[in-house]
Amino acid sequence: MPEDWAHIVFDARLSSGERAKVNSTLRESLQHTMNCHDLVYGPIRCTTDFLTFAHMSNLPLAIHGEVDRFFAQAINTAKATGGKLLVVMNGWDGLTTDPGSFMGMFRASASSIKIRVFAEVPRSFWQVDVEQAIKVFNGTIRINPYLEELMPHDPFDAETQEQFRLAEAQLEHSTAWFCRELLLQAIKMDYASVKQALQKKHSKQQNTDPDMTTVDYRGEKAITLNFLKTIHRCSYPLFMLTISRDNRRG
């Protein structure tokens, strides 16, 4: 049965590449995504746009940059007809894994935006409630921040686990999963920054025994990871380490 959307954006991203090649490659991919979407949800009866661009997913998107302006226009297009905007993304990281950028683009109109992620094997559509996702990112809703298989961590106590279960039971479809996917990328980004700082520090040390440097580095790495885990357990998200950039948007 056809759905009632005012406007649909099909979005795909590459980390880098020449503009013409990026557009050609991704538009072909998005056409396949649109065809699959038609098979699952029925023919599209509203205006559509393709967004293709090259940008590292974990780097903030420029405020008032190309992607920011594109979605501002897409939101206005949907609002003009009094309807909702649907964003169909190729992959969990098809738009951005920077929570600050995500919030900056969608927070003001979150209640009128939904996301579907075309991902996994076999490919399926996973629906995300943008308003709920933003509440997770700003800490209003607390969920288990870990992707269990990929992010080893100390177990939570029974009370915390129950709080997480109740919170996630209120979330639509795959919203919690989407948020954890962004968190995984945030962890990678913040750890990469820590690693770079440590390497720079040790590169300045002279007459240092290489074995001692290795031991020292590993020790600091372990301390850093334990500290991040403590942040998650006690105050909630590591998202806050990256969301602080969103303050620039006012």
Evaluate whether 218 touches 248 at the Cβ level (below 8 Å): no
The share of the chain scoring above pLDDT 90, in percent, equals 49
What was the pLDDT predicted at 182? 81
What was the pLDDT predicted at 27? 97
pTM: 0.73
Q: Are strands 124-129 and 47-54 parallel, antiparallel or unpaired?
A: unpaired
CA gap 95, 86 in Å, rounded: 13
Per-residue burial over 135-157, b if 16 or more Cβ lie within 10 Å, else e, is: bbbbeebbbbbbeeeeeeeeeee
What was the pLDDT predicted at 189? 59
Which CATH topology does 5-188 take? Rossmann fold (3.40.50)
What was the pLDDT predicted at 144? 82
What was the pLDDT predicted at 241? 35
Q: Residue 247, class by beta-carbon neighbours within 10 Å (0-12 exposed, 13-18 middle, 19+ buried)?
A: exposed
CA 34 to chain centre: 21
CA gap 202, 155 in Å, rounded: 33
CA gap 151, 225 in Å, rounded: 11
What was the pLDDT predicted at 202? 60
Evaluate whether 179 touches 136 at the Cβ level (below 8 Å): yes
What was the pLDDT predicted at 245? 35
Q: Domain boundaries in the chain?
A: 5-188
pLDDT beneath 50: ranges in the chain:
1, 206-250
CA gap 176, 161 in Å, rounded: 14
Q: Which two tokens stand for residue 24?
A: 């050609």
Q: Which residues pair with 114 in a beta bridge?
A: 86, 129
What was the pLDDT predicted at 194? 54
What was the pLDDT predicted at 164? 80
Q: Residue 205, class by beta-carbon neighbours within 10 Å (0-12 exposed, 13-18 middle, 19+ buried)?
A: exposed
Q: Residue 11, class by beta-carbon neighbours within 10 Å (0-12 exposed, 13-18 middle, 19+ buried)?
A: buried
Q: Which two tokens stand for residue 188?
A: 């990678």
